[in-house]
Chains A and B, each alone.
Chain A
Amino acid sequence: MVKFLSDEWNNISKEYILKKLDPEKDLRNVTTSLLAVIEHVPPNDSTMNFYLELQDGKLTNFIVNTGDTHVGKEAVFTVSGNYGTYRSILKGEMSMAVALLRGRLKLKGSKMKALQIIKPLDGVIVSLKEITDEFEE
């Protein structure tokens, strides 16, 4: 169990998703990428992001960065929100879909395509929930 957005979290997340999620059953063989931008990260009110990429349901990239852009390829989807919103999602207090519904997360990219990955993404979130137990308060 590790702290959200730490180096350790970055490493373990990738390993865990690869180990726990079945590319076909859980991730539906999707090919996509997502940039999650986390604003107002305590204690310095900074912005961070994590970028994940899936190829045929297999996680090929999972990188934590600072700032609001991923240096490299453009993500198919970008979701942005406060640190507190991500904390609520990873603590299981709110689903990603509800966060979008309430406008707490903003989505850039085709919403129709986003709907197609909502189920696989739920699987990724469950994995991240299982390994993340420490947050900035």
Chain B
Amino acid sequence: MSLEKVETMQKISLEDALEIAKKGSHCGMCRFDFLGTGICPSGKKYGFLAYWPQGRMQIFKMLMSGKVKPSEKLIEIANSCTLCGICDKQCNFATQLRPEKVAKALKDYTNNLDKSEYQEVIEDDVIKGLREIVGEKWATNDPVIISSYVQTIIHPDSELNFYVVMPENAEEISKIIKFANQHNIPFMPRSGGTLLSCATPTVLSKAICLDHGIIIDLLRLKKLEVDVKSCTATVGAGITAFELQKEAHKHKLRANLAEAGAHVCSNIASTGITSTWQNRYGWAADNYIDVTIVDDKGTIRNNSDMEIKNPYTTERGFTDITLSPPGIITESTVKLHHIADDEDVILVPFEHLKDALSMIIKLAQRNVGVSLIVLSRKYLSEFLCPTNQIAKDFEYICKNYLKLNYVVDVIGNKDDKKIVEEMAECTIDKSMIKTLILGAPKLASLKNSEFLKVLSEEKNPCKAIFAGPMRKHLEKGLDASPEQIAKVFDADLQDFFKKVYSRPEMTDIIWLHSFRILPSRLMRQRLFFAQAGMIWSADQDKILRLVDMLSKVCDKYKLEHMLGFILPMDDGKYVFFEYDYYYNHNDPDATKRVSQALIETTEKCLLMGDILMVLNYLFKGLYRKEHVLYPIPKGISDEDLALFRELIVSILGDEFKW
């Protein structure tokens, strides 16, 4: 059935559904229970991405664009949705989408198809072989199911000549890899897909997407055991950061983890786990005791095995261009940390990055803070605000009235808090942060108010409003309550969100730092990191020059952009930074500009020296950090630059010729 025919039949519904589906960000928040709603019943039962809300949205997009033809599996996928509405609640919290409308539209679309419109799916020898390994249910070559993986491991323009397999353990993965090698079929693991979803539309897809072959979906590896005595947890590759944190918190322990939807094992291999807590808990191999890994020959080994090759060796410099996993981590034993009774949070507002940076490095050098980070006003606004528009207005107020462009965000014990208060001119405490979370819609509505205009004339507006006599008025005026914030959600979801925001943890900034459910809100605007990496902190001016360079390149390519965060590592010896673009991932022109900016900023970072970029640390995090970080990279020579450009052209073609 053509799109035109379907449109005539139910025009508005399909158009609306497609609009929603196009905005699907693949943040993966619909695959674990972060709001106490339970999770999608069909996803839980069938496993493959196609049966989860994010997968259904992708399938709908693919069907409507004609990139995939219906198969009989589509009936099962459409009918498996019970329209329970869990996905709407979860997705609305993060990105304000209504995936259930897409699921409903998919049902309608499927019900109106003729049998003749279904494509036949042939069971070839490869799928037979894979099914022998994992069982009938857990391997497929159905194009509709495969299409749900587009955008997170398959490039949008790729043919759908793939297989998807969902093994249950390392032994099955080993067999799959041996089978794939024997049949000369490439393979790649997929976990949460959050990193891949950011990278897939861009030039990075050349490095990290699969062009054809076997997708090994690791979701079924669900082992999760906490050992309180050793303060460790054994975690299977299908476990998300949120799930591990929830289990750890039951024992008053905390894991150092990436954003909520990221899978713990894959994150150890990809970025080495970057979080605000790394000031105290460390990075890369600091986070785990041991891993079980299946290598590219299908051999299962542990990092603790005596006979393995030195697991800490790694290539250095820009010549190490491989951006693929060092193997498939099927299980890891990660460290957990005690949560102190007197933990508290404090934010210090700053107008200038220079001052925020100086403070954070001083704090790190003095070992102050378990969690320590400089957040830009963009991140602060997106994290605190329930909708993108409120976040935009909130950010406008921060910039134009409050002169609040950055915050130093510290979680520590009472001694840490005292030190920060002594150093800061004004601070924002835990109670005020709660007020800002619940009162964000009201504050945003004051965008053009006299009150804020008067406030902006103060010498230090933040001090006046957060620590001065105006604080009481602000607290009263914002009417910060679950009832108020719930009003910004769709009418049918308001009761639910009133209950959600009544729960103490949803306004407890320490809990939110640990469970990291708020970063998914950055995907409302489709974030992609322009550059992220480490830079030595001895020369703070150089960090500022780096940020300025990234800003100018983004301006050149007409991209919305801003520094995300800077966080210190190793007692402040160096800092981790992330600078982001925001763009419409459905727009090929914007995607091209993002890719060009990524290449240009990479080149400029190489020339500057002292910087370890994505290229240098992605998929090297399995190793001891010293092997990745040292020696400090020098700026490359003109001769090396010429080679780098030649390499880029060789990989990407003349389109990227300077």
A residues sitting closer than 8 Å to B (CB atoms) are: 39-40, 42, 45, 82-85, 87, 93-95, 97-98, 100-104, 111-112, 114-116, 118-119, 122
Contact = CB atoms under 8 A, between A and B. Distances in A.
Interface string B303-328: 00000000000010101111111000
23 contacts: A39-B181, A42-B184, A45-B182, A82-B186, A83-B184, A94-B211, A95-B650, A97-B651, A98-B651, A100-B321, A101-B206, A101-B207, A101-B324, A102-B207, A104-B186, A112-B640, A114-B319, A115-B643, A115-B644, A115-B647, A118-B650, A119-B646, A119-B650
Nearest to A39: B181
A100 B186 contact: no
Interface string B616-653: 00000000000000000000000010011011001100
A103 B208 CA distance: 9
A98 B206 contact: yes
Contact of B322 (A82, A103, A112): A103
A67 to B, nearest CB: 17
A126 B443 CA distance: 63
A112 B651 contact: no
Given A97-B650, A102-B324, A103-B322, A116 B181 contact: no
A84 B185 CA distance: 7
Contacts of A94: 211
A36 to B, nearest CB: 15
A130 B558 CA distance: 42
A94 B325 CA distance: 19
Nearest to A135: B184
Contact of B647 (A84, A93, A103, A118): A118
A87 B646 CA distance: 24
B296 interface: yes
Contacts, number: 72
Given A98-B206, A118-B650, A40 B182 contact: yes
The SS class assigned to the A binding surface is helix
Given A100-B321, A111-B320, A118 B182 contact: no
Contacts of B319: 111-112, 114-115
Contacts of B315: 111
Interface of B: 181-186, 206-208, 211, 296, 315, 317, 319-325, 640, 643-644, 646-647, 650-651
Contact of B184 (A40, A98, A101, A115): A40
A123 to B, nearest CB: 11
B186 A85 contact: yes
Given A93-B211, A95-B651, A118-B647, A101 B322 contact: yes
Contacts of A122: 650
B353 to A, nearest CB: 34
A93 B646 CA distance: 20
A117 B569 CA distance: 38
Contacts of A83: 184
A27 to B, nearest CB: 15
A91 B606 CA distance: 34
A104 B317 CA distance: 20
Contacts of A112: 317, 319, 640, 643
Nearest to B643: A115
Given A39-B181, A82-B181, A101 B643 contact: no
Contacts of A116: 643
B277 to A, nearest CB: 30
A101 B181 contact: no
Contacts of B206: 98, 101-102
A101 B203 CA distance: 12
B646 A103 contact: no
Contacts of A95: 650-651
A31 to B, nearest CB: 18
Given A101-B207, A103-B325, 13 more contacts: A40-B184, A82-B184, A87-B184, A97-B651, A98-B651, A101-B324, A102-B323, A103-B296, A112-B317, A115-B644, A119-B646, A119-B650, A122-B650
B297 to A, nearest CB: 9
Contacts of B186: 82, 84-85, 102, 104
A93 B213 CA distance: 14
Contacts of B646: 115, 118-119
A60 to B, nearest CB: 25
A85 B182 CA distance: 12
A119 B315 CA distance: 22
Nearest to B640: A112
Contacts of A102: 186, 206-208, 322-324
Nearest to A93: B211
Nearest to A122: B650
A78 B323 CA distance: 19
Q: In the A-B complex, list the 7 residue pairs whose CB atoms are closest, starting with the nearest.
A: A84-B184, A103-B324, A111-B319, A97-B650, A115-B643, A101-B207, A97-B651
A101 B182 contact: no
A36 B207 CA distance: 21
Q: Most B CB atoms within 10 A — which of A95, A115, A119? A: A115
A98 B324 CA distance: 11
Contacts of B643: 112, 115-116
A45 B183 CA distance: 9
A122 B207 CA distance: 18
Nearest to B650: A97
A104 to B, nearest CB: 6
A42 B325 CA distance: 26
Nearest to A115: B643
Contacts of B185: 84
